[in-house]
Amino acid sequence: MRVGILTGGGDCPGLNAAIRAVVKRGTAEHGMSIVGFRNGWQGVIDGDAVPLTRDDVSGILVHGGTMLGTARCHPHKVDGGIEAVQQTVADEKLDALICIGGDGTLRAASKVNKSGVPVIGIPKTIDNDVVGTDASIGFDTAVTIATEAIDRLHSTAESHNRVMVVELMGRHCGWIAVTAGIAGGADIVLAPESPFDIEQIGRKIRHRHRYKNFSIVAVAEGAVPAEGSAWDASETLDEKGNPIAGQVGMQVTRAIERITGFPSRLTTLGYVQRGGVPTAADRLLATRFGVAAIDAAAEGNFGTYSALRGEHIEMLDFDVMAGKTKYVPNELLQTAWGL
C-alpha cells in the first residue's frame, strides 16, 4: 500500500511526532510506502512529493513545526483543485492520503474524500476547536506556554502595581485564554464565547484593587464586546473579518486604564504559542493519532479522523465535525470567572 501524508493550516507543536508515527508504524507494521507532500494541499495539487523513510523521521519527535511545510490552501476553493489532487493521487499510485490539519484543512479533506480519493484526517490546532475530539495536537503545548507567560507577568504586575493584559490566540473560541487563564490564576478572562462589558470589567478591577495592587487579564484575540458597548470593533478586524493580532488586547488595555485609572500594559503572545518543543502530552497524542490513522488506512476505514474520546482513540466520520465548531463549555467559562 502507498500512503501520502500532508500537514495543512497553521503550524503547531506535535506535527512532526504525528508524521513520525505514521511513517514508523506504516513501514514496520503494515509494510507500506509513505510519501510526504510539501506545503499542505498546495503540494498535493502541485504533485510536490517526497518519499519518507524511517531514517527521514528519525529524531523529529521533539521538533516543533512541520518537516513537510504547511499552507492555508483548500483544494475545493482553488480552480481545478480537486481534479489536480485526483491526478496527483493517480500519478503517485496512492491508496490513501493522511491529512493533518485543523477545521479548515479537515473540511477540505472531507470534500476531497467525497470526490472519491480515500482520505483520513488527524486533528491538530492550538485553538482546540475541532468537534468530536477531546483535544487536538498542539493545544496542550500552547496552554503550557500561555500559562508560563501569565506566571511571569505576575512579577511585573505585582512589582509595579499594574494591570497586565495578555492577548492569547483564538479567533472563534477562547480555549487557550480560558484554560491558561484558570491555570495561571488570571483575574479576568475574556473569550469569544461570551461578549464582555468593559465598564463591568473596569468595576471588577476597581473593586479588586481595594485589597490587591495588581490584576491579570487574559484576552482571546477574538473576544468581542457586548452589543451596545461603546467600542469600535472595525479597528480590530482585517479585510477578511479576522481579528488583527494585538488589536483587541490593545483596546481592552486602553479602556481598562481609562475606566480604572490604574496603569495598564499589554503583552501579545502571538506565534510564540505555536512554536518550539511539544509537551509530552502533545507528543503522546500525536503519536496515538498517527498510529490510529495509519491503522485505519490499512483497514480501508476512509473518510474518518482520529479523535480522543476519554481514554481511547476512535475513528470518527468526517461528517461529525463538518461545519461545526467546538466552543468552550459553560462550565469552564464559569470556572474562569467564578473565583
- Torsions phi, psi for 296 (to 5 deg): -65, -40
Q: Where are the alpha helices (DSSP H) in 29-138?
A: 40-46, 54-57, 81-91, 103-114
83 or 148, CB closer to ligand F6P? 148
Question: At closest approach, how far in Å is the CB of 126 from ligand F6P?
Answer: 5
CA atoms within 13 A on the CB side of 293: 35
- Sole residue written with cell 480560558: 178
In whole angstroms, give the CA distance from residue 57 to residue 15: 12
**Does 40 engage in binding with ligand F6P (CB under 6 A)?**
no
**Angle, CA 77 vertex, CA 193 and CA 240 arms, to 5°:** 45
Question: At closest approach, how far in Å is the CB of 173 from ligand F6P?
Answer: 9
102 or 118, CB closer to ligand F6P? 102
Element (DSSP H or E) covering residue 297: helix 280-299
175 or 196, CB closer to ligand F6P? 175
Question: At closest approach, how far in Å is the CB of 40 from ligand F6P?
Answer: 12
The site for ligand F6P, by CB under 6 A, has a size of 11
- Sole residue written with cell 496512492: 94
**Does 268 engage in binding with ligand F6P (CB under 6 A)?**
no
Q: Known catalytic residue: 232? A: no
Neighbouring C-beta atoms of residue 87, cutoff 10 Å: 14
Question: From the list 6, 33, 127, 304, which residue makes contact with ligand F6P (rule: CB under 6 A)?
Answer: 127
- Torsions phi, psi for 226 (to 5 deg): -65, 155
Question: From the list 8, 40, 102, 225, which residue makes contact with ligand F6P (rule: CB under 6 A)?
Answer: 102
In whole angstroms, give the CA distance from residue 254 to residue 252: 6
Query: Which x/- pattern, by CB under 6 A, does the window 5-34 give for ligand F6P?
Result: ----xx------------------------
Question: At closest approach, how far in Å is the CB of 265 from ligand F6P?
Answer: 22
**Does 192 engage in binding with ligand F6P (CB under 6 A)?**
no
Positive or negative torsion for Cα 270, 246, 237, 230: positive
Question: At closest approach, how far in Å is the CB of 11 from ligand F6P?
Answer: 8
Helix, strand, coil percent values for the chain (each to nearest 5): 45, 20, 35
**Does 126 engage in binding with ligand F6P (CB under 6 A)?**
yes
Query: Which x/- pattern, by CB under 6 A, does the window 138-177 give for ligand F6P?
Result: -------------------------------xxx------
9 or 181, CB closer to ligand F6P? 9
- DSSP secondary structure letter of residue 68: T
Which residues contact ligand F6P (rule: CB under 6 A)?
Answer: 9-10, 102, 125-127, 169-171, 221, 274
Q: Catalytic positions, please?
A: 127
